[in-house]
């Protein structure tokens, strides 16, 4: 196998590892939402989430982004 063929083979392998088709992506998102939102029934996430000491009903990823934004503008 020549160098060009090996590079193409490697590129193809990398693209397959990085690419998630839309159906698989939707399944992952749906599973996350089910786990996160249904966990309230077991007094998880929603009942235990706090931000800066205040109980909140937000996704932890949202509050993480809030913290990053506040840090960027030097408010905290």
pLDDT, tens digit, for every residue of 4-25?
A: 888 888 777 776 666 667 788 8
Residue 2 lies in a domain: no
Residue 15 gets the label, from left (phi > 0), alpha (psi -120 to 50) or beta, of alpha
Nearest to 45 by CA among 54, 56, 53: 56
Residue 60 lies in a domain: yes
Phi and psi for 51 in degrees, rounded to 5?
-140, 120
Please report, for residues 40, 47, 50, the alpha-carbon distance to residue 57 in angstroms, rounded to integers and kept in the order given.
10, 8, 8
Residue 15 lies in a domain: no
Which residue range forms the structural domain that includes residue 25? Answer: 21-72
Residue 7 lies in a domain: no
Residue 53 lies in a domain: yes
**pTM reported for the whole predicted model:** 0.44
Share of the chain above pLDDT 90, in %: 0
Number of domains making up the chain? 1
Residue bearing tokens 């160098």: 3
Residue 8 lies in a domain: no
User: Which residues share a beta bridge with 46?
Assistant: none
């Amino acid at each position: 196998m020549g160098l060009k063929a090996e590079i193409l083979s490697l590129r193809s392998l990398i693209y397959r590892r990085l690419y998630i088709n839309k159906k698989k992506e939707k399944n992952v998102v749906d599973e996350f939402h089910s786990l996160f939102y249904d966990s309230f029934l077991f007094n998880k996430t929603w009942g235990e989430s706090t931000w800066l000491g205040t109980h909140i009903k937000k996704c932890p990823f949202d509050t993480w982004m809030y913290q990053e934004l506040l840090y960027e503008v030097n408010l905290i």
